[in-house]
Structure 1
Amino acid sequence: MQASPQIEPHYIRIGTPGAPKVVFAHGWGRSHRDFIPVAEALAPSIDAYLFDLPGHGKSERPDEPWGTADYAEFMARYVTGALQIPKCVWVGHSFGGRIGLRLGVQSPGMLDHMVIVAGAGVPRTVNAKDRWKRKWNGRKFQKLKAQAGTVDELIELEKRFGSPDYVMSRETGMRDIFVKTISEDQSADLPRIPTPTTCIYGGADTETPPEIGRKIASLVQNGTYVECPFYDHISILDRGRHQIALAIKEAVAK
């Protein structure tokens, strides 16, 4: 691992001690709060640990630019070591889903089941027109960036050409980690995941569209794909919370 292993991640615990363990990991730039409604709804039947991933929420950032493999190694060590949880259900939204997929390869023995909610980790299909547009925009951004005379001008360019997460990563001091993790393609590793995996995606999600979920579900050995029509990347956590809760209930009942 590249960064200090002494990070003490912030987490809250909701549920019933002695019940099946469920670990929740949020998306990029978000926090444990996203999963509180689901954890509270299932509190009588699970023992839930809701984390702020390193660099997010109340958890300090790594000393070095971690990739998702580093995050997975850290979380495996903390969950099984510091918390003494040998087996759990992993529930990850977006970035937390990326980390879950890494865990499925690196530490499958700690996982009873994974619930990947709008998770990233594999590239979407891009047609020739969109590829050309991305390439053209990238070149234009780099040209204008070189001409920017002030930080304010650079920030305005980033807002014009970059995603909201890319823009926010400057404000949070996480740009290096964002750039490293966003480009990762886990496609080749996914067939090595033996853990039963439920992939839940919103039909209106433009950040991690249904195509991504179908790819992941088809590549892992025991993947199931569930689509929630009309939900986007964030509303899947709210309006789709009942589907997430159902997937967790089914996982812990096995």
Structure 2
Amino acid sequence: MQPPHYIRIGTPGMPKVVFGHGWGRSHRDFIPVAEALAPSIDAYLFDLPGHGKSERPEDAWGTVEYAEYMARYIVGDLGISKCVWVGHSFGGRVGLRLGVQSPGMLDHLVIVAGAGVPRNVTTKERWKRKWNGRKFQRLKAQAKTEDDLIALEKKFGSPDYVMSRETGMRDIFVATISEDQSADLPRIPTETTLIYGSADTETPPEIGKKIAALVPNSTYVECPHYDHISILDRGRHQIALAIKEAVTIPGEAA
């Protein structure tokens, strides 16, 4: 497997900040934040394996394997002993795993619209999901062509689920989307900032509040009106502020 693709923005010798993007996205999401902070950080913006320009894993990795791989590459190959990890959505899931598996490499975690714990589901919603799932399976068995199957997936599946077929990442998507990290989160010793948008329907504020209640040394920040994607652009100033508060500039008092 080829090393993951990344770009570097900032000033050598300044605190290391590593960025991990969301599912189906790339390092480009964090370029505005990294450029705004370029004088005071040394930023590494990754395409996580299977996304952007990075080769996909041979096996169906979960976030445990993603975190192991990224820690090994960041510490072993790049020689970065300490960094701030900033992760959006899927990159947030990986960041939380790093907080449990490799806390020694982390100065701080900044989780932006990250998942990793289940949403609250009413009995009505649970039955609706079960009914839709059974209907999908029944119609899937009757599908005669691949076009029929794709049309069914678009009707019943999420955009990320549909896209995972096109990118050849379906097995990894299924492996990671159902993970529940709740039992592990209390083991994260790293100071963690959690940033969520009040209008986010993919990882709504309830997810961030649940994670904040489980991670011992965490701070929860909610941005009014932002959704899952606008938290990256309109909310970039809040992300930049969290990073600035997390790093210690050489020569400045901690």
TM-score by length of 2: 0.97
Alpha-carbon distance between aligned partners in 1 of 2:4 and 2:199, rounded to the nearest angstrom: 32
Alpha-carbon distance between aligned partners in 2 of 1:221 and 1:77, rounded to the nearest angstrom: 25
**Structure 1 residues 219-246: Cα deviation after superposition (integer angstroms, max 9, x where no partner):** 0110110000100000000000000000
Kindly report which structure 2 residues correspond to 1:179-190, keeping only aligned pairs within 5 A, or say none. 179-190=174-185
Alpha-carbon distance between aligned partners in 1 of 2:192 and 2:2, rounded to the nearest angstrom: 28
Q: Which residue of 2 aligns with 1:104?
A: 99
Alpha-carbon distance between aligned partners in 2 of 1:143 and 1:189, rounded to the nearest angstrom: 36
Is 2:16 aligned against 1:17?
A: no
Alpha-carbon distance between aligned partners in 2 of 1:133 and 1:228, rounded to the nearest angstrom: 30
Q: Which residue of 2 aligns with 1:200?
A: 195
CA contact (8 A) 1:7 1:54 kept: no
CA contact (8 A) 1:7 1:62 kept: no
Aligned partner of residue 183 in structure 2, secondary structure:
coil
Query: How far did 1:187 drift?
Result: 0.3
Query: How far did 1:7 drift?
Result: 2.8
Q: Which residue of 2 aligns with 1:3?
A: none
Query: How far did 1:29 drift?
Result: 0.2
Match 1:49 to one of 44, 55, 69: 44
Alpha-carbon distance between aligned partners in 2 of 1:221 and 1:46, rounded to the nearest angstrom: 26
Kindly report which structure 2 residues correspond to 1:68-147, keeping only aligned pairs within 5 A, or say none. 68-147=63-142
Percent identity over paired residues = 84
Aligned partner of residue 89 in structure 1, secondary structure:
strand
Match 2:59 to one of 39, 52, 64: 64
Aligned partner of residue 206 in structure 1, secondary structure:
coil
RMSD: 0.6
Alpha-carbon distance between aligned partners in 2 of 1:181 and 1:141, rounded to the nearest angstrom: 21
TM-score by length of 1: 0.97
Alpha-carbon distance between aligned partners in 2 of 1:7 and 1:213, rounded to the nearest angstrom: 34
CA contact (8 A) 1:197 1:222 kept: yes
How many residues matched?
249
**Structure 1 residues 59-117: Cα deviation after superposition (integer angstroms, max 9, x where no partner):** 00001100000000000000001000000000000000000000000000000000000
Alpha-carbon distance between aligned partners in 2 of 1:229 and 1:63, rounded to the nearest angstrom: 40
